Amino acid sequence: MAESLETKPLTIPVRAAITAVHGYVPPDLLTNAELAVMVDTSDAWITERTGIKERHILKGEGLGTSHMAAEAVRGLLQKTGTKPEEVDLLICATTTPDMQFPSTANLICDMVGIRDIGSFDVQAACSGFLYSLSVASQFIANGTARKVVVVGADKMSSIIDYTDRATCVLFGDGAGCVLLEPSDSGYGIMDSIIRSDGAGMIHLHQKAGGSRMPASAETVANRLHYVHQEGAAVYKYAIARMAEVTGQIMARNNLRGDMIDWLVPHQANKRIIESTAERMGMPMDKVMVTIHKYGNVTNATIPLCLWDYEPQLKAGNRLLLAAFGGGFTWAGVYVTWAYDGAKAPKLNGKGKNGKI
């Protein structure tokens, strides 16, 4: 006789839960006052328009994105007691890879002693970390991986023109990462949406350095290896798309604004953050904001938010993560937080403002 509906056990799907987070920012600071000496700007102008007060810059010959990412991953493994050989997969979201190949993920694995696993980069501009979370969660859900490290890292100072006031005030360097593990307790990545529109390329891109326009003396002389951004267009699209994708996730998961504990937006510009929160009906005291001290660290902004706010996060908290990037790309991820951040192991500040 078949089991009745009353006695048949319910099956909770296995989800990829974020079980730890860590970050790294290099020790050298570039303040608004220092930028005001370099270009025609001021602390008041930058703060009013962007919300940024300072940003961290990676200095040192031969140091790239992988060096910051490796520091973040080392801290993540240390604080969780995870051995390198226990990691099944590592994904790195970056817009500033150390080189065309091998991938920055490969380099990170080598630096931290992770061997014989799958590792690869994801390039979706500032949305790359959320794209990577969406991809990684599927490896956990289908049972092919049990411990996945997802890294977001960028050395934006390597592609910024410090004579261009429109872009040089915005970006900084840093790395953040999370550990994903299976959970059948109702915690984890509940839903995700990734989107793109290549027509947005004209508004935000790097002209030279790829196969369409390889590096040459002419491209260097014409300063074509730096970020090109049309701020007004990006601002408009970013607000619309981030609000749109979070609204879609809320609708299909029957969520209201008062049911969300934290909005975790990409840290591109404080005005964009505030406008996105307003469209969602979210008060700013429920919005993670770190742009004032890190600037726009591209793929690292969201994991650095999680790292900074970790002590305030509690098991069961509902988080909406949203990002928008060049290309255009945009993404949203709905997460139920898996642990009490205040109880997470501490590394006595190691990893923040440290030395590589």
Q: Which helix (H) or strand (E) holds 93?
A: strand 89-93
126 is catalytic: yes
Residues ≥6 apart with Cβ < 8 Å to 213: 207, 219, 224
- Catalytic: which of 126, 168, 177, 305? 126
Angle at 92 between CA 89 and CA 93, to 5 degrees: 140
Q: Could you tell me which residues are beta bridge partners of residue 29?
A: 56
State both tokens at 32. 């608004």
Catalytic residue at 266?
A: yes
Residues in the chain: 356
Mode of pairing for the β-strands spanning 204-206 and 227-229: antiparallel
Structure tokens at 285: 């005291």
Residues 6+ apart with CB under 8 A from 273: 51, 265, 267, 287, 289, 291
296 tagged catalytic: yes
From 106, 266, 269, 299, active-site residue: 266
- Within 8 A by CB and 6+ apart from 120, the residues are 91, 92, 103, 105
Task: Exactly one of 106, 269, 296, 299 is catalytic; name it.
Answer: 296
List the catalytic residues: 126, 266, 296
